[in-house]
Amino acid sequence: MKTNNKQIWLEIGYQMIAEHGFTKVNVESIGRSIGKNKSSFYHYFGDWKGYVEALLHYHLSRAEDFALKINNCETIIPGMVEIFLDYKIDIFFHKQLRINRQNPLYAQCFESVYSLFETAIVEKWKSFLMLENRTFLATKILALISENFLLKITHTSYDYDWLHTYLFDVAKLINDIHSNSAE
């Protein structure tokens, strides 16, 4: 099977940005990583702006697949956790969009992807937190937890045990708040 050179530029650049951030990745570093010269980059993307637009489109496409899998999984744990592990690079690319949200293109992509995720998970999330009849509250908590999650994840700690513990800590916090509000 012949490899699509344009796709290689996208996939490797996506991985590199997920790991190092937008400010530490450039045409030269991606080219060195894939053994291609800059002329093929400019042939496929025109310039860095065209490349970034292609990356954002690629991220949105991957997020649609991610959201579909989240929507189709039956449980938060282990189902969703395993999907999050499968999409580790995408999660870290998304983190880079969040970090660089001052760029309107990044912010728009970030919000579009988050909206897909929220729609896919909200029913399971409400059940997980035992907030079945409180969609608004569950959605607000999800937004806060998602922000916190992106701040806390690191490439070294991002594994099943960390994700599992994180989710149970969130559920426990919500349960504690609920228990204390009844007093």
- Tell me the pLDDT tens digit for each residue of 104-119: 999 999 999 999 999 9
Q: For residues 152 and 111, give the distance between their C-alpha atoms in angstroms, rounded to a whole number.
A: 19
Specify the pLDDT at position 180: 74
The mean pLDDT value for 12-41 works out to 96
* 40 is a domain residue: no
Phi, psi at residue 68, to the nearest 5°? Answer: -60, -45
Q: Provide the strand spans (E) within 83-156.
A: none
Per the structure, the count of domains in the chain is 1
For the full predicted model, state whether its pTM sits above 0.85: yes
Evaluate whether 22 touches 105 at the Cβ level (below 8 Å).
no
Whether 1 has a pLDDT exceeding 50, the answer reads no
Which of 114 and 177 is assigned the larger pLDDT? 114
* 83 is a domain residue: yes
Q: Which residues constitute the domain of residue 171?
A: 52-181
Find, among 79, 80, 145, 146, the residue nearest to 111 by Cα: 146
* 20 is a domain residue: no
* 74 is a domain residue: yes
* 124 is a domain residue: yes
* 14 is a domain residue: no
* 148 is a domain residue: yes
Specify the pLDDT at position 178: 77
Q: For residues 164 and 175, give the distance between their C-alpha atoms in angstroms, rounded to a whole number.
A: 17
Whether 144 has a pLDDT exceeding 60, the answer reads yes
Degrees to nearest 5, angle at CA 54 with 50 and 58? 170
* 93 is a domain residue: yes
